[in-house]
Structure 1
Amino acid sequence: MVVYNELVAITAGAGLLGVAAFLNLLIRKKPIESEGWAAFFGVTGLLLLVLGLHTTVTWPFGGDGFEYANIAFGQPAAGFGALLTFAAVYLWRNRALFGDTEQTKTAALAALKPAGIFVGTLGLGMAVLAVTFVRFQLGAAPPEEPISGRFGHLPLIEALFLGGLWGIIAIGALLFATALWTERPQLLRWVVWAWIIGGVVLLLFGAMNFYTHIGMYYNLEHGTTHKW
Structure 2
Amino acid sequence: MIVYNELVAVTAGAGLLGVAWFLMHLIRRTPINSEGWAAFFGVTGLLLLVLGLHTTVTWPFGGGGFEYANIAFGQPAAGFGALLLFAAVYLWRQRALFAGDPDEANATALAALKPVGIFVGALGLAMAVLAVTFVRFQLGAAPPEEPISGRFGHLPLLEALFLGGLWGVVALGALLFAVALLTDRPRLLRWAAWAWIVGGVVFLLFGAMNFYTHIGMYYNIEHGTTHRW
Normalization by structure 2: what TM-score?
0.99
Match of 1:96, SS state, is helix
Tell me the residue number matched to 2:181: 180
Distance in 2, matches of 1:97 and 1:176, equals 23
* 1:17-53 deviation per Cα after TM superposition (whole angstroms, max 9, x unaligned): 0000000011001110000000000000000000000
1:14 equivalent in alignment to 2:14: yes
Distance in 1, matches of 2:108 and 2:185, equals 15
Tell me the residue number matched to 2:55: 55
Q: For residues 67-82 of structure 1, what are the structure 2 equivalents within 5 Å?
A: 67-82=67-82
Q: Percent identity?
A: 84
Contact 2:26 2:107 in 1 (8 A): no
* 1:151-202 deviation per Cα after TM superposition (whole angstroms, max 9, x unaligned): 0000000000000000000000000000000001110000110000000000
Q: Which amino acid aligns with 1:27?
A: I
Where structure 1 has 5 or more consecutive residues not aligned to the other structure, the ranges are none
Tell me the residue number matched to 1:171: 172
Q: Which amino acid aligns with 1:50?
A: V
Q: For residues 130-141 of structure 1, what are the structure 2 equivalents within 5 Å?
A: 130-141=131-142
Q: Which amino acid aligns with 1:185?
A: P
Distance in 1, matches of 2:81 and 2:16, equals 11
Tell me the residue number matched to 2:226: 225
1:118 equivalent in alignment to 2:119: yes
Distance in 2, matches of 1:104 and 1:4, equals 38
RMSD: 0.4
Q: Which amino acid aligns with 2:161?
A: L
Aligned residues: 228
Where structure 2 has 5 or more consecutive residues not aligned to the other structure, the ranges are none
Distance in 1, matches of 2:213 and 2:16, equals 23
Q: Which amino acid aligns with 2:109?
A: A
Contact 2:144 2:151 in 1 (8 A): yes
Tell me the residue number matched to 1:104: 105
Match of 1:17, SS state, is helix
Tell me the residue number matched to 2:195: 194
1:87 equivalent in alignment to 2:94: no
* 1:133-161 deviation per Cα after TM superposition (whole angstroms, max 9, x unaligned): 00000000000000000000000000000
Distance in 2, matches of 1:171 and 1:97, equals 31
Distance in 2, matches of 1:98 and 1:184, equals 23
Q: Which moved more, 1:100-109 or 1:31-40?
A: 100-109
Distance in 1, matches of 2:117 and 2:103, equals 22
Q: Which amino acid aligns with 1:44?
A: T
Distance in 2, matches of 1:183 and 1:105, equals 15
Distance in 2, matches of 1:210 and 1:89, equals 31
Q: Which amino acid aligns with 2:80?
A: F
Normalization by structure 1: what TM-score?
0.99
Distance in 2, matches of 1:25 and 1:126, equals 26
Distance in 1, matches of 2:186 and 2:114, equals 11
Q: Which amino acid aligns with 1:121?
A: A
Tell me by how many angstroms 1:105 deviates. 2.2
Distance in 2, matches of 1:58 and 1:105, equals 40
Tell me by how many angstroms 1:104 deviates. 1.8
Match of 2:227, SS state, is coil
